Chain A
Amino acid sequence: MSAITGVGAYAPRFRISAEAFEEAWGQFHAAGVTEKAVPAADEDALTMGYEAATRALEAADVDAESVDWLAFASSRPPAAEEDLTARLGAMLALSESATRQLFSGSTRAGTRALWAGLDALEADATTALVVAADAPQGDPDDGIDHAAGAGSAAFVLEREGPAEIVDRAEYAAPYPGTRFRDTGDDETQGLGITQYDRQAFTETIGGAVSGLEIDPEPDAAAIQSPDGKLPYRAAGAAGVGTDEIQAAATVHELGDTGAASVPLSLATALADGDDSVLGVSHGSGAGADAVVVSADGDVPTVTALEGAEPLSYAEYLRQRGVVTTGPPSGGGAYVSVPSWRRSLPQRYRLEAGRCSECDALSFPPEGACDDCGALAEYDPIELAGEGTIEAVTTISQGGAPPEFAEQQAQSGDYAAAIVALETDGGDETVSAPAMGTDADPDAFGVGDRIETTIRRVYTQEGVTRYGFKVRPAEQ
């Protein structure tokens, strides 16, 4: 048997309402979605995956070092070719020898990753981490884009635990054209053949559920939600009532979260203490996975799904880069990709150095000691990801380096601070410059407490660089 021992879930802080769309378009094409989450300009599936994964590890109280199997699932990974699990694993401080798998191709990717994790535990893995994150995107006048939300969920799987996976089954049948994105395209499309699309949805969901050996009789049903209506149309096929679907639904507040849809609903149901949960995904192609989770009502979860900031439709277009022109043409100071890579222990894991001569901390740990000036070796020490603002400014338009011109066009003014980052326990600090994120620049003042997270820093030569930023500490 395999079990979920920790759950993490995350959604960006921005929300846009159905009314804002109606105001802009005269109508809103995503039935049943009242509002949806919008990723900030410095977020993507990888950073949202990191947010959920750190929370799942925290919930399960599992050391990153002990994770021996990692999966990352997204229908829209930020790079079409390049295995992002290497970066995600490094951000999470996983062992370099941990198995890594990437799942994509449809909105079913999240449950495919769960499948592979369960298979791995049945083989020789002991601690698996399944991360699903997504932010679908379509043409601005298309229903897929109107529904497109954002969010992520992650699960720590072990052989025993409070939420056992008691049954699973899958089903596939060919249904081309319901939802697709051709190679090189940026926007997901569908032909919009209403009855055909519904048949693909209900047939695969029904097929997967009828393959289950047990009759789940769930308290909550986490059904794939391309919009706020379709999952309810599949109630009969899934053998559940609409109340059970509603109990686990996230689509009404977060929108279509793609490959993270069923994982997010499953996480929500477990966080709510539901004992029996049926999860059924659907991915175009088409296929479906059904999974039954039996919980003892006490599954450790850490979630951050609350929306804090409403956006107008114009702000929504800016945040998503629809109406901005991209970075300025280049020249001048430049950090090469190899230079950036050398700094990853600092960017991802806040690795400072302790001077072997005087014991003072240096960040980054290179060159002569900032304190005693000795050209000594540094012993690596990971900082705790919390600290205090020592100096801060708000960078207004025109004040940003060119690397950040596009981000500023998308998301506006930002805070840039020098922060005193603490060691575990907070006895010592070392200073580092850091960009503010996840809050208005006004929320950053000298003396304020901060915590670190990982975000997109900038993209140059087509390569997105990720690294730590700071946000106001959770109270």
Chain B
Amino acid sequence: MRDAYLVGAGQSDYGAFPSESYRSLFRTAFDAATDSVPKGLEADDVDEAVIGNLGVGGRQLGLSGPAVTEHVGLDGVPTTRVENACAASGFAVRQAVQAVKSGMADVVLAGGFEIMSDMSSDATKYWLGVSGETEWERLSGTTFSGVYAQMASVHMEQYGTTREHLSRVAVKNHANGAKNPHAQLGFECSLEDAQSAPVVADPLNLYHCCPTSDGAACALIVSEDVVDEYTDDPIRVAGIGAGSDTVGLFQRDTYTGIPASQRAGEQAYEMADVDPDDLDFAEVHDCFAIAELLAYEDLGFCETGEAGRLIESGATEIGGDLPVNTSGGLKSKGHPIGATGAGQVVEAYKQLSGKAGERQVENPTRGLTHNVGGSGGAAVVHVFEKEQEVSA
């Protein structure tokens, strides 16, 4: 199969934008992505588009993919919307890579978008719970904060993980997000702030939860046959992996790990022929602080049960052995559901092309993105690797 390459990626700011529409935000991301391609890329070059989206607040439930691609001048281009909850555009990137590898397309746009802020808080509540297991899990009184809090309760009980460990995730990610101009909550927070915030679902407090966000992100995936038309510094999609699982947490064998993430990570490492030790940075799905800690274990950054110690050691800070969520993560950068997976790829592109500004990791060659749908009903992992020359 052909190799696939990431030649450009960009995003809108994440936040709450009463003056923007989902289409205008998508256009911002699309323009940023095409502008980021070193040798330029025109709308006409795009063979295919795959767009991640959950619900746009319920106002464009059908054909929301073409609704944004035609807005940026891609009418006529086959467009498919992918819905895998919070992993929607992580899976859109995966679909783009598959289209390229299969030989069906040379240039594929993988993007995502969401608008979550322009509705009443009541209406938002109706949207937030929709990707959990509805009939039993949600109707036992939980949304995702509750389900992840249940995971945290068991992790704390079994491994001695503490509320302080959870708060350290917030402190680190806010420190990173403060250096990201696109971040929604781009401010630093102290450990004290992160420990004294109001409780949402015990043990998770407000600082252990990501915000709701508006935003869009796009990535451009091309084949090895055309990559040199777009860049002289190619970034290869070295590994892809994905998994799915029961939608409800209660139906799984474990509550202290996400099996779909484990499967996705193993596949991606095997395909890329790398170990977690070979990574220079990672963007992981930290919708809640416990989710980042679970990701450390599920993706092999540390042994099972050791995630609390890992965050405490500082190893996942910028400058540490394996910086995690240099973008600020979902916690600080924001979490516009359908855009999040593609947004992680934007950070990978910026880091690997040396454009990450103040939060730049020193000379990275390899980075990972990890995107989870719901509480682990779907997960997708990509490994991106900088090459000096295209092997033709």
- A435 at the B interface (CB under 8 A): yes
Given contacts A331-B58, A332-B129, A416-B146, contact A396 B202 (CB under 8 A): yes
Are A399 and B58 in touch, CB under 8 angstroms? no
Docked Cα-Cα span, A400 to B145, in Å, equals 9
Contacts of B150 in A (CB 8 A): 391-393, 416-418
Are A432 and B199 in touch, CB under 8 angstroms? no
Are A433 and B125 in touch, CB under 8 angstroms? no
Which of these binds chain A: B76-84, B136-144, B339-347?
B136-144
Q: Which of B125, B128, B142 contacts A416 (CB 8 A)?
A: B142
Docked Cα-Cα span, A403 to B146, in Å, equals 14
Given contacts A332-B129, A418-B255, A435-B140, contact A391 B58 (CB under 8 A): no
- A463 at the B interface (CB under 8 A): no
Q: Which of B138, B142, B154, B255 contacts A333 (CB 8 A)?
A: B138
Contacts of A432 in B (CB 8 A): 136, 250
Contacts of B152 in A (CB 8 A): 393
Given contacts A333-B130, A391-B153, contact A396 B125 (CB under 8 A): no
Contact string, B151-162, partner A, CB cutoff 8 A, digits 1/0?
A: 111100100000
Contacts of B255 in A (CB 8 A): 390-391, 418
Are B141 and A395 in touch, CB under 8 angstroms? yes
Shortest Cβ distance from A377 into chain B, in angstroms? Answer: 18
Contacts of A396 in B (CB 8 A): 198-202
Residue in A398, A399, A414, A457 with the greatest tally of chain B CB atoms within 10 Å? A399
Shortest Cβ distance from A262 into chain B, in angstroms? Answer: 37
**Which single residue of chain A is at the shortest CB-CB distance from B249?**
A418
Contact string, A25-67, partner B, CB cutoff 8 A, digits 1/0?
A: 0000000000000000000000000000000000000000000
Contact string, B111-147, partner A, CB cutoff 8 A, digits 1/0?
A: 0000000001011011111100111111111110110
Given contacts A328-B122, A370-B251, A399-B201, contact A434 B140 (CB under 8 A): yes
- A330 at the B interface (CB under 8 A): yes
- B248 at the A interface (CB under 8 A): yes
**Which single residue of chain B is at the shortest CB-CB distance from A467?**
B139
**Which single residue of chain A is at the shortest CB-CB distance from B203?**
A393
Q: How many A-B residue pairs have CB under 8 A?
A: 133
Shortest Cβ distance from A342 into chain B, in angstroms? Answer: 9
Docked Cα-Cα span, A333 to B123, in Å, equals 11
Q: Which of A335, A339, A405, A416 contacts B140 (CB 8 A)?
A: A416
Are B250 and A394 in touch, CB under 8 angstroms? no
Docked Cα-Cα span, A426 to B204, in Å, equals 32
Contacts of B149 in A (CB 8 A): 393-394
Are B153 and A399 in touch, CB under 8 angstroms? no
Are A393 and B122 in touch, CB under 8 angstroms? no
**Which single residue of chain A is at the shortest CB-CB distance from B151?**
A391
Given contacts A330-B126, A331-B126, A418-B255, contact A393 B153 (CB under 8 A): yes
Residue in B123, B136, B151 with the greatest tally of chain A CB atoms within 10 Å? B136
* Chain A interface residues (CB < 8 Å from chain B): 328-333, 335, 339-340, 343, 364, 370, 390-396, 398-405, 414, 416-418, 431-435, 441, 446-447, 457-458, 467
* Chain B interface residues (CB < 8 Å from chain A): 55, 58, 120, 122-123, 125-130, 133-143, 145-146, 149-154, 157, 198-204, 246, 248-251, 255
Complex A-B, nearest 9 residue pairs according to Cβ-Cβ distance, in ascending order: A332-B126, A328-B122, A393-B149, A433-B140, A391-B150, A394-B202, A333-B130, A331-B126, A402-B125
With A333-B138, A433-B137 given, can you name 17 additional A-B contacts, CB distance below 8 Å? Answer: A328-B120, A329-B122, A331-B127, A333-B129, A335-B134, A343-B136, A364-B136, A391-B154, A393-B152, A393-B203, A395-B145, A396-B202, A400-B143, A401-B141, A403-B139, A404-B141, A414-B141
